[in-house]
Structure formats: structure tokens, C-alpha cells
Amino acid sequence: MVSETRPIIIAGAGPCGLVTALVLQNHGIPFLILEKTSRSKLCSDTGAGFDLAPTALNILIHRLGLSKERIDETLSRYERWYIATIHGDLVKDEGTPQSALEDCACTHRSALQQALLDQLLQNATTEETEFLKCNSSLEYYQEEEDQVKAVMNDGSILVGKALLGCDGINSKVRSCMNEHREDPLQYLGTMCYWGKCPREEVEKYSSAHKSNSSTFVWLLGTNKVPGSLFITPSNGTYRYLWFLSVPSGKPLSGTLDDLTRRGGAVLSEMAKTELLNTLDENGALDPVLKTVISGTPAGEITEAGLFDRVNLDLPFSSPRKLVALLGDSAHPQSPYLGQGTNCAITDAYFLATKLAGVSAQEAITYYDSDQRREEMKNLIEKARQQGNFLNSKNRFECWILRTILRYAPIDVDELKRYDFSNKNMLSRLDGIKAKSSDGGAMTKPILIAAFVVAVFAIGLRMFLQYW
Ligand SMILES: Cc1cc2nc3c(=O)[nH]c(=O)nc-3n(C[C@H](O)[C@H](O)[C@H](O)COP(=O)(O)OP(=O)(O)OC[C@H]3O[C@@H](n4cnc5c(N)ncnc54)[C@H](O)[C@@H]3O)c2cc1C
């Protein structure tokens, strides 16, 4: 006999798990979140930030019931773009066009987590406050006729109506679902570092345009020192979030099992000095780049290899359709298209809303569509290509990137273009006919057009100089 009070079990309280929980709560559906880390670490600030595209913003601002003030505190806008090489040669310093300002934003992981958790706690009735179990790691599950048993690290068993795997790139739900299939992670040849640098450190060196709290700073590597550094706007807070990626043949060996650092490890003082020396090979490193790294204590810097999955054709749900994978557990991707969290939030909103209307089996069947899987596969492949391009060691590719960025208009549209699958998901949910266009496919023609324009502009300049 099926008990209606059996909860939906959510494994993982990242952005995906918390959005799922909030939607279920708004619909009065019982749920239980199992989270591997401690309560104090759940919203801890390791300096991680996310770009947010229009669909995720639409969900966060209009559909979750978060107050406008709370959302405004959480989001920052890219009002200005400052792009230079890591040696400080200016490529572009421009304001974001007004039309693009509202469509995209960025947020700190810790701020987003806290806002979602606060809302869950605020809405909860007294009986519901036990909805989050921290220090509880799901080890595997057993799917039965009409229920799922989640087996925990301490051996206890929880029984639910359905299990939603929101447990990130190293998902246990996924490894259990694919125990008889090949499903390894794929190292993407890139190491990344992120942290938070106190504002006054950067301001010591930077001129007004760089220190503006709503400026997005992007420093481009060269063929000799390849990589990319991003400093994201900080919405009036006391620190800058930065993210550096550099190509590297080997991933980090023993990483920390600290998933608030996305599986990465804390950098040692020695490794920090080594990193700075490698970047500053000829002593010509941009002072801002030097400052954000040297001004961030080593213990506040996370070092991690970037991974996605080798096999991109696996289902996002179990054969009985009582277990589903959402967010990074379903489609982990490199961060270069800024879509991981956007997809995670969309998955969460879509499936949880469906669960409010139909049975778990029907909702999961509808969620795990061929279209979404195909679109996610394309997105992951494009994110890989983008990462290779941005971290290229090839002199010609570095030059093309600089030239495109110098002459092409500011492209916040990039985030919007790759958001098309999420937009389609929301349209399906709202019963609106989704567009079939592959927005991502636009990139190649745009790159080619930008290249032709750049070659023409350079040719013209040389011609005028000569005459
Ligand atoms: C350097 C970097 C930069 C990024 N930048 C962006 C960006 O700009 N924009 C963007 O959209 N995305 C970005 N991403 C991707 C983004 O971080 C992920 O897509 C997003 O965090 C996925 O959310 P999630 O909730 O699915 O998984 P996670 O955020 O990984 O959360 C998973 C949660 O599950 C918990 N957990 C794990 N295993 C278990 C278990 N067995 N039992 C219980 N709980 C468990 C973890 O502790 C964690 O809390 C970036 C990623 C990286 C690495």
C-alpha cells in the first residue's frame, strides 16, 4: 500500500537540490534533503561564483517566491567589461549595452545557497523543519515496485516515493544507476583556481575602471602563458571573486573530499608561489592578476581539475522512472559557457513542478526527454571546445580571440544563446510550443564573421599606415 506521506528524497543540497526543495515546498509536497557536508559548510564562501542566464533568472526572480530585496542582494550585474591580456595590454573597456543588462547576472554560490535555504526555513511549518539532514551521505539506492530505498553511509535506510539525484559531478545516485555501464569522468586538460581577494588589495593597484564593483574583468592568456582569469562583479561586498584556468596535462592527485569546493583542494603556500612564478615567467604579469592571487591567502584558494563525462548518451533516469538525475549529476560540464547552474536550476524547477501535478513516474518520464539529453550533450561538447579555445597555446588562436574581443560588440548574448535548451524546457512546462533552433549553432558563423571583420579592419589599418 502506497503511503501518501512518503517524501520525495533529494540527494544533495547544492543549487539544484535547494531549488527542487523550494518548488516542492511551495506545492505542499513532502520532501527530505540528504546532504553530505555539514550545515556550517553548506553556505560557506569559498569564492565560487556563477553566471546566471535569463531562464535561471526568470525562475529565481519570478517563480520561487523569493522576495525582491533578497534576490537583489544576491545578484550582481555586469555593468562594465574590462578585457586585457595577462600582461596588461588593453583589449576592451566598455559599458554593457542597456538592453543586455537585465538578461544576465552573476551570483556568489554562498549567497544563492543562503537565500534559498532561508526561504525554505521561513516557509517551513514546525513539523517540516526536519527537512534537511546534513552530514548524511547517500551511498546507494534500491528501486522497488512503487518506492525507493536510499541507503545512507551510517547504514540507515530511508524510504521515499522517488529519489532525485542532485548530488553533483561525483554523484552516488548516478554511479548506482549506471553500475553495469561504463561511465568514467573525463579530465579536460585544465586546472582551475578560484578564491576571494579582499577589495582593498585590488584597489591598491587598479585604476577606476577595474575597481568598480560592477565591472567584469577578463584577462586573456597568451601562447607563452596560456589561460584566462575572470574577476566577477561583487555587488558592493568587501571582496572580489576570481577564477583562473590554465591548461595542464595532469589533474590534481588526491583531492579533498570537500564538495563545497566542488571536489577541489585547498592550495598550499608553496603551490601558490609556484603558480605565480609560472604566470609571471618574464616579470610582465598584469598587476591586477598578480594582486588578486598574491592578495588571497593560500587557504582561501581552491585548486581543482575540470572534468565532464566520457559517455554523453546515458539516460537521466532509472528504468522504473522512480529515480532521476538532475544538474551536474546528469550533465556535468566545463564552466566556459556559464551554463552548469542555469541547467541545474532549470532541471530542478521543471521536474519539481511536474511532480506537483502527476505521479512521480509520469513526471520523471516527461523530464528525461530525448530532446533535453541531446541538447545537453551538444552543450557539454561546446563547453569543451570553448575551454580549449580560451586556454589555447596556439599563437594564431590567441590572436583571433583578442581580435574578436577587441572589435566585436560585448557579447552577453553568448550566455543567452546557450540558454536555449533551458528556455525550451520552461516553454514545455508552460505549454508553449518550444523553438527548435539550436542557439549554440550560431557561434561558428559569428566567429567567422567576426574573424572576417577583424582581418578587414587590420588590413585597412596597415593600408592606411603604409600610404
Ligand atoms: C570553477 C567552476 C566555475 C563555474 N562557473 C559557473 C558559472 O559561471 N555559471 C554556471 O551556471 N555554472 C558554473 N559552474 C558549474 C556549477 O558549479 C555547477 O553546474 C552547479 O554547482 C551544479 O549544481 P548542483 O546542485 O547540480 O551540484 P553541486 O553544486 O555540486 O551540489 C551537489 C551537492 O550534493 C552534495 N552531495 C554530493 N554527494 C552526496 C551524497 N552522496 N549524498 C548527499 N549529498 C551529496 C554536495 O555536498 C553538494 O552540496 C562552474 C563550475 C566550476 C567547477
pLDDT tens digits, one per residue of 244-269:
999 987 766 545 445 456 667 788 88
Q: How far is the CA of 372 from the centre of ligand 1 (A)?
A: 19
Nearest atom in ligand 1 to the alpha carbon of residue 173 is 41
Q: 12: Cβ below 6 Å to ligand 1?
A: yes
Residue with the bigger pLDDT between 137 and 69: it is 137
Q: Model confidence over 142-196: pLDDT tens digits?
A: 999 899 999 999 999 999 999 999 999 999 999 999 999 999 999 999 999 998 8
The reply to whether domains 8-76+108-184+313-397+409-444 and 187-308 share a CATH topology is no
pLDDT in the model for residue 79: 83
Q: What is the mean pLDDT of residues 413-421?
A: 85
| pLDDT for 354 | 97
**Nearest residue by C-alpha to atom 52 in ligand 1:** 335
Per-residue pLDDT of 52-67, as tens digits, reads 999 999 999 999 989 8
Residue 213 pLDDT greater than 90, yes or no: no
Q: Would you list the domain boundaries of the chain?
A: 8-76+108-184+313-397+409-444, 187-308
The CB of 259 under 6 Å from ligand 1? The reply is: yes
Residue 76 has pLDDT above 90, yes or no: no
CATH level 2 (architecture), domain 187-308: 2-Layer Sandwich (3.30)
Confidence category of residue 440, pLDDT binned at 50, 70, 90:
very low
Query: Is 438's pLDDT higher than 60?
Result: no
pLDDT digits (tens, 9 = 90+) for 366-403: 999 999 999 999 999 999 999 999 999 999 999 999 99
Task: Name the band, by pLDDT with cuts 50, 70 and 90, for residue 98.
Answer: confident
Q: pLDDT by residue (tens digit) across 11-55?
A: 999 999 999 999 999 999 999 999 999 999 899 888 888 889 999
Which protein residue's CA is at the shortest distance from atom 37 of ligand 1? 167
Predicted local confidence at residue 446, as pLDDT: 55
**Percent of the residues in the chain that have a pLDDT greater than 70, as a whole number:** 83
pLDDT at residue 465 greater than cutoff 80: no
For domain 8-76+108-184+313-397+409-444, the CATH class is alpha beta
The neighbouring-strand residues paired with 216 are: 81
Cβ–ligand 1 distance for 167 under 6 Å, the answer yes
Under a CB-based contact definition with an 8 Å cutoff, are residues 294 and 165 in contact?
no
- The number of angstroms, rounded, from the C-alpha of 315 to the middle of its chain's C-alpha atoms is 21
392-402 tens-digit pLDDT: 999 999 999 99
